Amino acid sequence: MSAPANPPASPPSFADEVVTRALVRYLEVPGVAGEFALITLDNGHDHTRPSSFGPAGLRSLDEALDQIQARSPRVSAVAVTGKPFIFAAGADISGIGLVTERDQALAITQEGHRVFARFRDLDVPTFAFLNGLALGGGLELALHCHYRTLSSSAAAIAFPECFLGLVPGWGGTQLLPNLIGADRAVKVIIENALNQNKMLNPKQAFDYGIADVLLDSADFLAESLRWASRVLDGTVTVTRPEIDRGAGWDAALAKGRAIADGRLHGAAPAPYRALELIELARTADFATGTAAEDQVLADLIMSDELRSGLYAFDLVNKRAKRPAGAPDKSLARKVTKVGVVGAGLMAGQLALLFARRLEVPVVLTDLDQDRLDKGVGYVHGEIAGLLAKGRINQDKANRLTALVTGSLTKDAFADADFVIEAVFEELSIKKAVFAELERHVSPEAILATNTSSLSITEMAAELAHPERVVGFHFFNPVAVLPLLEIVRGAKTDDASLATAFAVARTLKKSAVLVSDAPAFVVNRLLTRFLGEVTAAVDEGTPIEVADRALAPLGLPMSPFVLLALVGPAVALHVAETMHAAFPDRYQVSENLRRLVEAKKSGVYVWDSGSPEVDPEVAGLFVFGDKPSTEEQVRERALAALAQEIDLMLADGVVAEPQDIDLCLLLGSGWPFHLGGITPYLDRQGVSERVRGSRFLAPGNASVPRA
């Protein structure tokens, strides 16, 4: 075995680090001559707190390797695995946010490289037994090993770094493309990370070539040791594919740049720096490539984009799991049957979600048999699609299909515990629906509304039991967007709210409690934002100029592409609702009205593959004589958002600015690299210009710096 390398300057300690210990055992494995050293990574917590690597964790792993090397030549192989259900989740990102100097950041990156490289450089075979979740630096540790086994029950395999504002900087950008090819590496490092942090399941990771063998989870460690012994005695030979370093590598890099441009428009550096490193991996030796990783990672650790990503990550992974203001969960009532009023597309999506997650009977109702049959048929068809894709088995498909039925009468809701309406967005219609429901359901049944902007209090005002009415606002597409705005009306009681939050958790949605204010949070802010951009067009700004104004933010789509997604008719209806509530701040664009009256789906046509202003729309619109520049439109829109958020906080629509940030992150695709709307407005100086102070107090390590 080679001697350990001399360590670089010591990285800083993380005061609050939950140390991951590297525990060594020496095993006698049948068929293996000598000792088999097994390192187990364990931070002393259960699977809800994954093991991660801070400076102390790296030291423990380093010391374990020292101990093993001291037994040379008795040790004939080394393996590393994790505690139950967890291999390792990578670097301790909570500690990284505390780093204040680039030299400290560089020391951390170099230390990770030095320790992990010891597995690659050992003169005996090394194995990673991926028994569970393997993310970021955890996956990089595995890639440094000569062989990898993977449990079929591992929760996820991924490189989430670009999602947060980093790169896989402990060898990932150099090792992965040279193992599985540049195209698949770009998929894992860039595309998946920017696609809402998508992760690989075990079969996908195995099919990609990340693991050498996929083993059943029931006896994973024993099976991994048996497989390793067959590798050591030559019974099993691991072969890996030839890597295309020519045109295929070029195509992969071009694809990665196109994905980054499409998602971020150049607004965040991490994926572009990752692509530079993947390009380097084609020709550079390992030492050169990892030295470049050190420099890139040190730069990114000191960036505002990372602080923003850490702030957003903290919200999504901590605050979202403990919603501010939610009543005690012990007050929640059990839900054994769900009713859905309506059979349109939204109702069908809701019925499918409730059936899949709650696994209780779900009944849709409508006044028309054809619509009802179509709605139930949609749900059954989606279940069949899940079966065809292998997402569920035949038994599960049969059970889910049987759970979803339809009825023309609402007496089918007599034994329902939770009934949600998804009918036309008109207050009088929704009030009539609730009045009829109250004649059929029990007094304890929750009456939920999926309204996007109407008053919950008014909806419940004439009911005998207004206390059980709650807003339950999903975002479209229901299966994809994780946010649920749970709205408390003036008389909504704690038991109803607690039940709503319990249902949200079972649905695997992140719920935020909001008060009964027009359009709540997301739609209120998007309407104000879109309204300001539209107003600039009405005043004479060319459509293309106004639509490009927000491009520097790297939003998932431009304002007028968003308008097409929402639908001009829906946007007009919400604008009218908001104008009625706040006529001084929300105007109704006559050009938008013209668009709706002409039955246009948006302002663009896509005949050439890219958006071009529809000539018919240009002919419909009436333009003023006061055009604005892109910068002026951007400043106007951001100032309006700062004003609206300030008013929402003053009115108690949510508990704190963090809840508004969480709503936009999860409900509208606000970019992680911006952190949240309030820290972004703080960092740009907009908050102080509009309200005289920042929204968030500086000093928190995860709050982006001004």
pLDDT digits (tens, 9 = 90+) for 130-145: 999 999 999 999 999 9
- pLDDT number for residue 8: 47
pLDDT band at 4 (very low <50, low <70, confident <90, very high): very low
Indicate the DSSP class of residue 656. S
Contact 36, 225 (CB under 8 A): yes
Residues 589-611: tens digit of each pLDDT: 999 999 999 999 999 998 877 88
- Using the 3D structure, point to which of 604, 627, 652 is the last residue of a domain: 652
| Residue 385 pLDDT greater than 90, yes or no | yes
Per-residue tokens: 133 = 């979740």
Q: What was the pLDDT predicted at 609? A: 78
Q: What is the CATH number of the domain that holds 643?
A: 1.10.1040.50
The counts of H helices and E strands in the chain are 30, 19
**Residue 196's pLDDT is what?**
80
Say yes or no to pLDDT of 703 above 60: no
Q: Residue 706 has what pLDDT?
A: 46
Q: Measure the CA–CA gap between 520 and 486, rounded to whole angstroms.
A: 9
258 and 338 assigned to the same domain = no
Q: Is residue 375 part of a domain?
A: yes
Q: CA–CA separation, 663 vs 361, rounded Å?
A: 30
Same-domain status, 144 and 289:
yes
The model's pLDDT over 52-107, given as tens digits with 9 standing for 90+, comes to 999 999 999 999 999 999 998 999 999 999 999 999 998 888 777 778 899 999 99
The answer to whether residues 177 and 35 belong to one domain is yes
Q: 48: Cβ–Cβ under 8 A, 6 or more apart, which residues?
A: none
Model pLDDT for residues 525-553, shown as the tens digit of each residue:
999 999 999 999 999 999 999 999 998 88
Fill in the DSSP letter of residue 655: S
Q: Are 256 and 291 in the same domain?
A: yes
Same domain, 254 and 389: no
Q: Per-residue confidence at 189, pLDDT binned at 50, 70, 90?
A: very high
Q: Is residue 693 part of a domain?
A: no
Confidence tier at 418 by pLDDT (50, 70, 90): very high
Going from the C-alpha of 578 to that of each of 184, 476, 573, the distances in angstroms are 46, 20, 9
The model's pTM: 0.84
Residue type, 318: K
- Asked whether residue 59 falls in the same domain as residue 200, the answer is yes
Instruction: Tell whether 394 and 527 lie within a shared domain.
Output: no
d(CA 116, CA 171): 8
Residue 16 has pLDDT above 70, yes or no: no
Q: Is the pLDDT of residue 700 over 70?
A: no
- Please give the average per-residue pLDDT across 668-697, as a whole number: 91
Contact 186, 172 (CB under 8 A): no
Query: Is 232 found in the same domain as 380?
Result: no
DSSP H helices, 24-122, are 55-70, 93-96, 102-121
Report the alpha-carbon distance of residue 486 to residue 332 in Å, rounded: 14
> Average model confidence (pLDDT) for the chain?
93
Question: Do 218 and 297 fall into the same domain?
Answer: yes
Query: 308 lies in a domain?
Result: no
Classify residue 687: in a domain, yes or no: no
Looking at 71-158, list the stretches that DSSP marks H as alpha helix, in order from N- to C-terminal side.
Answer: 93-96, 102-121, 137-144
Percentage of the chain surpassing pLDDT 90?
A: 82
Angle between helices 172-180 and 137-144 (to 10 degrees): 60
pLDDT interval class at 386 (50, 70, 90): very high
For residue range 457-516, list pLDDT tens digits in order. Answer: 999 999 999 999 999 999 988 988 899 999 999 999 999 999 999 999 999 999 999 999
- Determine the Cα–Cα distance for residues 361 and 517; give it in Å rounded to an integer: 33
What are residue 38's phi and psi, to 5 degrees? -115, 120
Please compute the mean of the pLDDT values over residues 243-271 and round it to a whole number: 93
Cis-peptide into 11, omega within 30 deg: no
Looking at the 3D structure of the chain, how many domains does it have? 3
Q: Residue 216 sits in which domain range?
A: 21-302
Residue 634 lies in a domain: yes
Strand 147-151 and strand 213-215: the pairing is: parallel
The beta-strand segments (E) located in 161-254 are 213-215
186 located within any domain: yes
- CB hemisphere CA count around 569 (13 angstroms): 7
Question: How does pLDDT run across 327-359, given as a tens digit for each residue?
Answer: 999 999 999 999 999 999 999 999 999 999 999
Select from 514, 546, 572 the last residue of a domain: 514
One domain, residues 530 and 445: no
φ/ψ of residue 641, rounded to 5: -65, -45
Quick one: angle between helices 559-566 and 568-581, nearest 10?
Answer: 100
Let me know whether 79 and 202 are in one domain.
yes
E strands along 528-597, which residues? none
Same-domain check for residues 297 and 440: no
Q: Given 452, 482, 514, which residue is the final one in a domain?
A: 514
- pLDDT band per the 50, 70, 90 thresholds, residue 701: very low
**Domain CATH for 37:** 3.90.226.10
pLDDT band at 35 (very low <50, low <70, confident <90, very high): very high
How is residue 340 written in tokens?
């859905």
Q: What is the pLDDT of residue 5?
A: 45
Whether 264 maps to a domain, the answer reads: yes
Question: Which CATH number do you get for residue 483?
Answer: 3.40.50.720
Task: Flag whether 295 is in a domain.
Answer: yes
